[in-house]
């Protein structure tokens, strides 16, 4: 049963219920051994952080920055700060110096918690440009502190300020004074267009979100929940808090590149993910199938067809499968699909919420067919994550983003924009009165910027209004829809559609270089490096054939006519990606102007 108390006391209330039961599984920075914390240990450390913050002079609703990848210290800091009614501001671990300088100054952060060497070095370099910043607290003990930095301390030493809980009576009083109007977080948006805006999220919003999600998301205290999206991402932050409110065990994955290794080692029952994660899983499984012999390929494709018929054509529509189909599926599920899930580390799967971008129909079909409950959903930072999601056991439609959660009112404007109202919606942007005013309609609905429609109670998204391209022929193109269709191809790693004010659709494509190299060797194509591969005519024709197959269902004016294979990835360092790995189209158009112009010559 959920414990939906104020976040300032949630961990302590859960510790009363669960005591010495395990709450977190984690690895130290750079470590290889999984360790654990109990609820009682979690509660005591959170109280120690609260006491330490008071001893450092932190005041009610003062802003504290957290610039780190996922780790247990991150969670101690969040809950410890909420215990003294402070506001935490999460920075993505990959943020640039310019970004963190902007956020520290915009929110007037006085204490900044950092993770590893990279985050410390960036924070140290901007320190003199951030006049409110007084202290840097470092999570990773292996970080080398600059000789010229008297203000940095390690987290272990920071905790000594709270040893013995000397200010606990004051902390207890702050628990009593805490209320729903208090700010819990300011989350700065990734900023695919223009400067970041600080989304204000209150404790009342969190309580409303936890209650609404509890009604439709079947998490329990028997679940083991893997955290691998950044805690700075509202999807992971909300999901983590929901998991803790339900008494689940968290598996804290610090390094995103190790997520599949962590899955195999810890066997989570649930995790939230963006569609790109499942696209990678799909591509990996299909690559193995394509390289198998003809008999194995036929067996697996038949199994997928049975899984699709059983789980999608019947169960997803609320219909009971025929007995013969059910028995055939159960046999396949307990043998072949069980092996696939075991290889992923998902031996006892429960639910897998997925949101953050458009989900390819191929990928959604595949995940459901192999017996994994993907709950497609939709949300924004401004809505404190979930607006809508599929409900386990309730009919759903592939391509929808599910049913709106309790308390959220969804309205579609005359021009097709999805509008939202409810207790989980932000009160606005920090220090941005004009932008806050512009974000709401006259009757108080939040403008999402997404176009969509409702059908039989389910929400369907069609495109991102700001991302719509208009060709020189007057046709509107939804680039994300096209990109999601093509990203299922195992030879494509990243893709950006080009079409705005152009007379046809083109694309910049980052191929999967390893697979491209294997293809070239198998077909006797000589190359000296990635540049040769990407410029090769035979490789181009092979890729065009694959693209043509995937875009058959697109309208003629939506289909890619030309593309350029790039010999390097899009990167955050060049400003081409946000911290959540969304492409910045304006930057790509600037950085690859020569390549784009060549596609439209002649």
Among residues 417, 347, 328, 350, which one has the least CA distance to residue 380? 417
Residue 136 or 480, more confident: 136
Q: Are the C-beta atoms of 94 and 70 separated by less than 8 Å?
A: no
**Distance from C-alpha of 215 to C-alpha of 217, rounded to nearest angstrom:** 6
Which pLDDT score is estimated for 336?
Answer: 95
Among residues 129, 120, 74, 70, which one has the least CA distance to residue 98? 129
Question: How open is the CA angle 396-399-405, to the nearest 5 degrees?
Answer: 55
The domains of the chain, with CATH numbers, are 10-178+217-271 (3.40.50.12780), 275-465 (3.40.50.12780), 468-599 (3.30.300.30)
The secondary element (H helix, E strand) that includes residue 540 is helix 537-550
Place 5 in a pLDDT band, splitting at 50, 70 and 90. very high
The percentage of the chain sitting over the pLDDT mark of 90, rounded to a whole number, equals 82
**Distance from C-alpha of 472 to C-alpha of 504, rounded to nearest angstrom:** 8
Which pLDDT score is estimated for 239?
Answer: 97
Which pLDDT score is estimated for 165?
Answer: 98
**Distance from C-alpha of 511 to C-alpha of 534, rounded to nearest angstrom:** 8
Question: How open is the CA angle 79-7-230, to the nearest 5 degrees?
Answer: 55
Which pLDDT score is estimated for 477?
Answer: 83
Averaged confidence pLDDT in the chain: 93
Which pLDDT score is estimated for 583?
Answer: 86
Q: What pLDDT, in 10s, does the model give residues 497-507?
A: 998 888 899 99
Q: Are the C-beta atoms of 70 and 88 separated by less than 8 Å?
A: no
Does residue 590 register a pLDDT over 60? yes
Q: How far is CA 170 from CA 58, 62, 111, 177, 372, in A?
A: 12, 16, 20, 11, 47
The secondary element (H helix, E strand) that includes residue 155 is helix 155-159
Determine the distance from the C-alpha atom of residue 241 to the mean position of all C-alpha atoms in its chain, rounded to a whole number: 15
Beta-carbon contacts of residue 320 (< 8 Å; ≥ 6 apart): 314
Place 463 in a pLDDT band, splitting at 50, 70 and 90. confident
Which pLDDT score is estimated for 209?
Answer: 97
Place 226 in a pLDDT band, splitting at 50, 70 and 90. very high
Q: Which two three-digit tokens encode residue 315? A: 């169960």
Determine the distance from the C-alpha atom of residue 303 to the mean position of all C-alpha atoms in its chain, rounded to a whole number: 30
Reading phi first (left if > 0) and then psi (alpha if -120 to 50, else beta), residue 220 is in: beta
Does residue 491 register a pLDDT over 90? yes
Does residue 356 register a pLDDT over 90? no
Does residue 152 register a pLDDT over 50? yes
Place 135 in a pLDDT band, splitting at 50, 70 and 90. very high
Residue 556 or 149, more confident: 149
Which pLDDT score is estimated for 190?
Answer: 64
Among residues 66, 64, 69, 72, which one has the least CA distance to residue 41? 72
Q: Across residues 62-85, what is the average pLDDT?
A: 98
For 19, list phi and psi in degrees, rounded to 5: 55, -115
Q: What pLDDT, in 10s, does the model give residues 534-562?
A: 999 999 999 999 999 999 888 888 899 99
Beta-carbon contacts of residue 529 (< 8 Å; ≥ 6 apart): 567
pTM to 2 decimals? 0.86
Q: Are the C-beta atoms of 152 and 139 separated by less than 8 Å?
A: no
Q: Where are the beta strands (DSSP E) in 360-440?
A: 374-380, 385-389, 403-404, 409-412, 417-421
Per residue in 337-372, is it b (16+ CB within 10 Å) or e — as a string?
Answer: beebbebbbbeebbbbbbbbbbbbebbbbbbbbbbb
**Distance from C-alpha of 572 to C-alpha of 109, rounded to nearest angstrom:** 24
Helix/strand/coil (H/E/C) assignment for every residue in 197-241: CEEEEEHHHHHHHHHHHHHHCCCCCCCEEEECCCCCCHHHHHHHH
Return contacts of 307-313, CB within 8 angstroms, 24+ apart. Answer: 307/332, 307/333, 307/337, 307/368, 307/369, 307/370, 307/371, 308/365, 308/368, 308/369, 311/368, 311/369, 311/371, 312/365, 312/368, 312/369, 312/398
Which pLDDT score is estimated for 192?
Answer: 45
Q: Are the C-beta atoms of 389 and 401 separated by less than 8 Å?
A: yes
Does residue 193 register a pLDDT over 60? no
DSSP 329-356: HHHHIIIIIHHHHHHHT-SS---EEE-S
């Amino acid at each position: 049963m959920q414990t939906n108390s104020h976040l300032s006391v949630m961990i302590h209330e859960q510790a009363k219920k669960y005591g010495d039961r395990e709450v977190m599984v984690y690895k130290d920075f750079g470590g290889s051994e999984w360790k654990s914390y109990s609820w009682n240990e979690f509660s005591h450390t959170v109280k120690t952080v609260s006491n330490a913050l008071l001893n450092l002079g932190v005041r009610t609703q003062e802003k504290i920055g957290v610039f780190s990848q996922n780790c247990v210290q991150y969670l101690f800091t969040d809950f410890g700060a909420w215990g003294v009614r402070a506001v935490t501001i999460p920075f993505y671990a990959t943020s640039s110096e310019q970004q963190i300088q902007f956020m520290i100054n915009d929110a007037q952060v006085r204490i900044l918690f950092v993770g590893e060497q990279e985050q410390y070095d960036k924070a140290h370099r901007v320190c003199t440009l951030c006049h409110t910043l007084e202290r840097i607290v470092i999570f990773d003990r292996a970080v080398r502190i600059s000789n010229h930095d008297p203000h940095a301390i390690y987290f272990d030493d920071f905790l000594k300020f709270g040893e013995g809980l000397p200010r606990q009576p004051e902390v207890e009083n702050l628990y009593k004074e805490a209320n729903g109007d208090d700010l819990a977080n300011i989350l700065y948006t990734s900023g695919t267009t223009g400067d970041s805006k600080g989304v204000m999220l209150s404790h009342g919003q969190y309580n409303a979100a936890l209650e609404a999600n509890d009604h439709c998301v079947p998490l329990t205290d028997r679940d083991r929940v893997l955290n691998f999206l950044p805690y700075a991402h509202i999807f992971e932050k909300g999901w983590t808090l929901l998991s803790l409110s339900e008494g689940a065990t968290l598996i804290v994955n610090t390094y995103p590149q190790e997520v599949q290794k962590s899955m195999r080692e810890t066997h989570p029952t649930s995790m939230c993910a963006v569609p790109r994660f499942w696209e990678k899983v799909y591509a990996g499984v299909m690559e193995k199938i394509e390289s198998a012999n003809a008999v194995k390929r036929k067996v697996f494709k038949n199994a997928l067809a049975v899984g699709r018929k059983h789980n999608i054509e019947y169960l997803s529509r609320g219909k009971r499968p025929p007995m013969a189909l059910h028995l055939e599926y159960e046999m396949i599920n307990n043998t072949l699909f069980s092996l696939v899930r075991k290889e992923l580390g998902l031996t006892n799967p429960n639910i897998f919420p997925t949101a953050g971008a458009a989900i390819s129909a191929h990928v959604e079909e595949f995940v459901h067919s192999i017996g994994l409950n993907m709950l497609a959903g939709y949300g924004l930072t401004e809505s404190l994550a979930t607006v809508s999601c599929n409900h386990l056991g309730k009919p759903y439609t592939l391509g929808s983003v599910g049913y709106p959660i309790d308390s959220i009112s969804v309205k579609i404007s005359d021009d097709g924009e999805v509008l939202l109202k409810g207790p989980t919606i932000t009160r606005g942007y920090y220090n941005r009165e004009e932008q806050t005013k512009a974000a709401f309609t006259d009757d108080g609905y939040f403008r999402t910027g997404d176009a969509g429609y409702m059908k039989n109670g389910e929400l369907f998204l069609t495109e991102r209004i700001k991302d719509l391209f208009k060709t020189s022929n007057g046709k509107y193109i939804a680039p994300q829809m096209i990109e999601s269709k093509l990203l299922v191809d195992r030879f494509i790693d990243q893709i950006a559609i080009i079409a705005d004010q152009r007379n046809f659709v083109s694309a910049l494509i980052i191929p999967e270089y390893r697979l491209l190299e294997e293809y070239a060797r198998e077909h006797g194509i000589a190359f000296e490096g990635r540049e040769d591969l990407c410029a090769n005519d035979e490789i181009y024709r092979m890729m065009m054939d694959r693209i043509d197959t995937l875009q058959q269902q697109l309208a003629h004016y939506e289909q890619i006519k030309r593309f350029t294979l790039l010999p390097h990835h899009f990167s955050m360092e060049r400003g081409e990606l946000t911290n959540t790995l969304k492409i910045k189209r304006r930057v790509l158009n600037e950085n690859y102007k020569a390549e784009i112009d060549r596609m439209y010559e002649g």
